[in-house]
Amino acid sequence: MTRLALVTGGNRGLGLEIAKGLAAQGYKVLLGCRNLEQGNQAASNIAGDVEAVHLDLSNSNILRNQIKEILSTYPKIDVLINNAAILIRDEIFDIDEEDFYATMQINLNAAFDLIQLITPTMIKQNYGRIVNITSDFGSFKDGLLGPVSYSVSKAALNALTMNVARTLPDTVKINSVHPGWLKTDMGGLDAPLSIIEGAETPIWLATLEDDGPTGLFFHQKELKQW
């Protein structure tokens, strides 16, 4: 049986590398992207069964309708990777309120929308894997040291992981992952880790065995404190 995975922000960077890795393992992959033309181009360059789908994470009303449309075509999504995010490098007294709200929408609210609409089918089919791409900037243990909107949104996404995990059956697993500081458009060229290295743990969590962990936070396949 071919598993179906939906990856948000799948047309570039970490999302694209995760999509490549899942496709290489025989998954059918849906590349969620805001620009469908760019998504189609990215999908055409991946070996395997990969299709771009339009997802606008900036507006929940639009997004929820898009999710329902995807589910009407692909009712059994087995894996959800909440990868798409924005990073605005302003602190509390510098950031415009619109930028703060937009960050919360894309980094947190959209993940909530996707989880709420897709998870019921996972429960019904007794299988599901949800991976929330977060950050050490969202870790209370590490001091929430990132820019205000990014840190708060990622801390909240971690909280969503913990809360949702306690309501799901063990057959549907949800985990957070800090992929590390990566050489992406967001991370820059000075980052110490490659995109391939960053994708290893999300792919592992997306393909967990039945006895795998749930409701936890990982970095490089090791437990990380919230």
Strands (E), the chain: 4-8, 28-33, 50-54, 79-82, 128-133, 172-177, 217-219, 222-223
Separation CA 185–CA 48 (nearest Å):
25
pLDDT single digits (tens) 103-144? 999 999 999 999 999 999 999 999 999 999 999 999 999 999
127 is catalytic: no
- 200-218: pLDDT as tens digits: 999 999 999 999 999 999 9
| Three-class SS state of 85 | coil
Cα 134 to chain centroid distance, Å, stands at 8
For the segment 72-98, what is each residue's pLDDT rounded down to a tens digit?
999 999 999 999 999 999 999 999 999
Class for domain 4-223, per CATH? Answer: alpha beta
The DSSP annotation for 102-135 comes to HHHIIIIIHHHHHHHHHHHHHHHHT-EEEEEE--
**What is the pTM for the complete model shown?**
0.95
In this structure, what token pair is assigned to residue 86? 């924005």
DSSP 32: E
Portion of the chain with pLDDT greater than 90, in percent: 92
- SS3 for 173? strand
Domain boundaries, the chain: 4-223
